[in-house]
Structures are given as structure tokens and as C-alpha cells.
Chain A
């Protein structure tokens, strides 16, 4: 039986400073136990992933904005899945919540598609959608995420 990893980081690719600002405030206020690392461009994200130890990527959740200024979230997701970080827990988020965007995100290999802003409720939604991912409240009320990769791999046909 695979070991469950606690998700420690939320990697967030979004070029809106306001969006990142709100997300940071909400995660803090709603006591979400994730460290937020934001990136404004695909290049910044790539550099960070390349510098990360592989095991740390098992403890990360990546959310990519669908409507980036210089590219689209689905294109980034597609490149990510074809690259070395194909195993990561990664999905698309969007402010427009367009059903067509959901379809495109799934085709690109996203594990989930959620609306913005990212907050505790959205993370619960992601946990429901992704096999092997679960949320838990600690005694002090902090929301934590746990991921069992084997279950995810059995449940996902995307890999």
C-alpha cells in the first residue's frame, strides 16, 4: 500500500497580482495549511520545478490559471504533462468557469478544474475530484491535504 504524502505547497501560476494577493489572504484567513508559491509566467514556474527535488513535487499541488496573458493554462498544462513533471498533481483554475474551458483543461491532462479565487472550499472541491487526494482538519482547525499517489494512479487514466 502506497504512503500518503501531506501536500505542503500550493504552486500557483497566475499573472494577476490581485488574484495572488486575494488567494494569499484567503488561505491565511481560512487556515489552509499550504505554503503559497506564485508565478507570473510559465518560465518562472518551469525554473522552480526544475530546481525542486522530485520528492517535493509529490508534496505540491499545482494550479494554473486558464487565461494567462502570454499563453493559455491548457497549453502550459499540455507542455507540463509532456515534460518531466507529468506525474504532478496539477489542474486548471479560471474566473470565468466556462464549461468549454473545463473540457479543454481535461483534454490537456488537468487533474481538476475549479473556479477562482482559490480558497478552502475550492481545495475541498479539488480533493473530491482527484482520486487519492483527501482533506483533513487538524486539531487547531488547519485544513490539510493528503495525497496517496498509488490510488491516484489507479484512478486516473491520464498517465
Chain B
């Protein structure tokens, strides 16, 4: 008989009771394995939920993963149940979904930076989830290290704390939570947040310790950035407060003088006194000039941040121009200006003109020697170019070396040497704008030396 009846055809696709039982058995085993894995992952994610309560984004990711895991488990259970009574196609579909959900769970772990581990106390065997390998920087192929080697990954300063927590959990029912540093095989450090607890049997004896890890290196880096930013902001606020205070005083004073003197000029008794009237008018003029100089310098100071076209600037030419502009005073004072070979810098020409004008001009203005000597030099260093403007003048008292760069900071009385107290504040702002720093010190010439360093990369090069 070659022909097949209609009734026979479906029988060819149906499994025999024996094969169906075998298949159901396979499915049951597979689902049991999956269920155990899911149970561990659910446990891990419950820990993660607690550990990440302050990190909403990670918490959401964990919750999604947890929901996914629960759903997968539910599907697995349903598949197992159905598999016992139906054919194998439905469980296969469920298994496919289960694997997909496992894949999503792995992804959620990777995104949230969470991994889990388990220490079996009887066998001392350790299990690491894939994410734990990533956090430790250990290739998956290397396998899970022994307990002692796993502990050795912790930073020496943190190791005792880790051992104490895990050790307690191996002896009694104990849960723990700590932050520690891991030192990876490549030497890099990672910050991890670890939470865990012991698993105990019915008698209360621990048989395993379970923990979750979250890599919080980026969080710590962001916190450090934030802290730096806050400190910067605090300094900036302080400077702004100081700036507004001194502005209000140093600009208000000449205004107040002009106001008081004008009122006195209008007084009939004083107005009739020609000598006093003349003196008042002269003083009003000086105060107006001082006010104008202060406003001009404040304007220059506030405009330093403005976008100005940058170009390569030969500082040899800049200093030559500055010396030329100061020539009448140089001749009058009998001063000598020595200029060494300088670099080319990239920046705004006006900034460097102002920088050298203020430094060389100050050296000349404050010099108390019959033959003032001012020297401008440059030198190359590994990462910076150093420029020095020094003189043989009176120098700066040790206690004032840092203060001289403050806004409206002055070391000499107005009656002795006129000034607005903004020159060196402008110098500092210019240098800092190019990523450099400026310091004042005692010069070997006997007077003051101003050293400023500019980064060698990009900002400077040899002519």
C-alpha cells in the first residue's frame, strides 16, 4: 500500500507519546535552568534597586530589567505548563521569547553598569556575571578567579573593609553596602558600589554570600567635576564680590571728591578766596582724570574676555613697540631695557601689547634707581614657555607678592605714584586667559620679577 489516507498525514507530524515526554523533559530541564538564572538575576536587580535609589536613570533601567525578568519567568512557567499538554511548537516560541528577554536583561545590566556575584561557602566557588568581568577588566575567557584573587582586585587601602564585610556575611546573617576602588589588570582604578547579603539555611547558617556591583567611576568623576565647578563658581563669586566692592569704592571716591569740592566752590566764602578756588578746581580736575583712568582700565579689564581675532604674534616685535612707546620716559629716567630672544605666540595682539606695556611700564614707573635696568627674557621648558620681566627697582615685600595681582591692589600711595591698581590684575587675567599663570618674586637684579608661563602646545612657538 502506497497511498496514505487523510487520517495518516497528520500522524506523521505528531510526536509519539514517548518523544513528546522526552521533549517535555528537555524543556522542563531547560526552563529550570533558566528559572534558576532568572531567580539570581531578580535577586541581583532587587539589590540594584536598593543600591541605585539615588540614581533614577539606573533605577529605571533596573526596574525595566526586573519586569522583563519577571515576565520571562512567567512565560517560562506558562510554557512549561503548556509543554506538558501541548505539542512542542508553543514552548519553542516561549523559549525564543525567553532568550530574547535574557538578552535584554544582559543589555540592561551592561547599560546600568550592574553585575552580580555569588560565593558558595561550601565549595568556595564564585560566580561572576558578565558585567562583573567587564567591571574588573578581566576577559570572559579567563574564568572566575579564586576568592583570594578576587579580593586582590580591591585597592590595598579598601581591602580590609571588603574582607571584613564579606567575612561577617560568611559567619552570620548579614547584609552590607560599601564603596571601594578596584584596580584592574591594566592598573586603572574603578570605583564600585557593592551591596550584598548572606543566604542562610533553615537553621540560620550561611551557605552563600550574594552581592551586586555597580561601576560608579563615571558618577564619581562627574561628582569631582561638579565639585571643581562649584569651587570655581565660589571663587568667581568671591572675586565678583570683591570686584564690585572695590569698584564701588575706587570709583565712588573721586566722584565724591568732585561732588564735595564742587559744593565748596559754590560756597560764597570760599568762592571769594581766589587761591582756594584755584586749588579746588585743580583738585577737581585731577579727580576727573583719575576717574577716567579707572573707567578706562575697568573697561579694558572687562573686555579681556571678548572674542578678539587670534593670530601668530612675534613677541619680539610686540616688546619693541612697547619699548618704543615708553621711549620718552626711558630717556628721561636714563633707563636701560634689555630684551632677549622671545617666542611667537598665538593669540590677540592687543592682549600681549597690554601685558608687556603694563609690566615694563610698571618697572619703569616704580623704579627708585638713578639708572633703572629692565630685562625681558624668555626660556623654553618641557610644557611651557616662560617669560620674565624683571628690574632693579625697590621690589615687592614678601607678604605682598600674591596680593599685587588683586583688583585695585596698590603698594604705593597715590601721593607718591599715581595709578589705578588695575595694571597687574589685567596682566593676570590676560595670562590666565591663555591657560598660563603669572607670579611675582624677587629678581636677581635686586627688584621685582614677574614670571609668566604659557602652555607650549599651540599657544607658543619659536620664531
Contact = CB atoms under 8 A, between A and B. Distances in A.
A18 B270 contact: no
A15 B264 contact: no
B398 interface: no
B256 interface: yes
Given A18-B257, A25-B276, A116-B256, A40 B413 contact: yes
A123 to B, nearest CB: 16
B253 interface: yes
B232 interface: no
Given A29-B269, A98-B245, A18 B283 contact: yes
A16 B253 contact: yes
A98 B252 CA distance: 12
A70 B413 contact: yes
Given A29-B267, A70-B411, A22 B261 contact: yes
Interface in A1-39: 15-19, 21-22, 25-26, 29
A41 interface: yes
B253 A69 contact: no
Contact of A41 (B279, B286, B287, B413): B413
B410 A69 contact: yes
A93 B388 CA distance: 41
A141 interface: no
A109 B36 CA distance: 77
B414 interface: yes
Contacts of B257: 16, 18-19, 22
Contact of A29 (B253, B270, B287, B415): B270
A22 B252 contact: no
Interface residues of B, number: 24
Contacts of B413: 15, 40-41, 69-70
Contacts, number: 56
* Residue from B252, B279, B286 with most neighbouring chain A CB atoms (10 Å): B252
B229 interface: no
Interface in B404-439: 410-415
A116 B413 CA distance: 19
Contacts of B264: 22, 25-26, 29
A95 B249 contact: yes
Given A18-B257, A18-B283, A95-B256, A69 B249 contact: no
A93 to B, nearest CB: 12
B414 A69 contact: yes
A15 B411 contact: no
B283 A25 contact: no
Interface string A131-145: 000000000000000
Interface residues of A, number: 21
Contacts of A22: 257, 260-261, 264
A114 B413 CA distance: 23
Nearest to A41: B413
A117 interface: yes
A148 interface: no
Contacts of B287: 18
A96 B412 contact: no
Nearest to B245: A98
A49 B279 CA distance: 31
A25 B280 CA distance: 11
Given A18-B283, A21-B283, A29-B267, A96 B415 contact: no
A64 to B, nearest CB: 15
A26 B248 CA distance: 24
Contacts of B286: 18
A17 B286 CA distance: 12
B259 to A, nearest CB: 10
Contact of A25 (B245, B249, B270, B412): B270
A26 B245 CA distance: 27
B270 A117 contact: no
B252 to A, nearest CB: 6
B414 A96 contact: no
A117 B260 contact: yes
B412 A69 contact: yes
Interface string A58-101: 00000000010110000000000000000000000011101000
B270 A96 contact: no
Nearest to B397: A70
Contacts of B256: 95, 116-117
Contacts of B414: 15-17, 69
A18 B270 CA distance: 16
Given A16-B414, A18-B287, A69-B412, A96 B252 contact: yes
Which 7 pairs show the lowest CB-CB distances between chains A and B?
Answer: A96-B249, A18-B257, A15-B413, A69-B410, A22-B260, A67-B249, A95-B253
Interface of B: 245, 248-249, 252-253, 256-257, 260-261, 264, 267, 269-270, 276, 279, 283, 286-287, 410-415
Given A17-B414, A22-B261, 16 more contacts: A16-B414, A18-B257, A18-B283, A18-B287, A22-B264, A25-B264, A26-B260, A26-B264, A40-B415, A69-B412, A69-B413, A70-B410, A70-B411, A95-B252, A95-B256, A96-B249
24 contacts: A15-B414, A16-B257, A16-B414, A18-B257, A18-B283, A18-B286, A19-B257, A22-B257, A22-B260, A22-B264, A26-B260, A26-B264, A29-B267, A29-B269, A40-B413, A40-B415, A69-B410, A69-B411, A70-B411, A70-B413, A95-B249, A95-B252, A96-B249, A117-B256
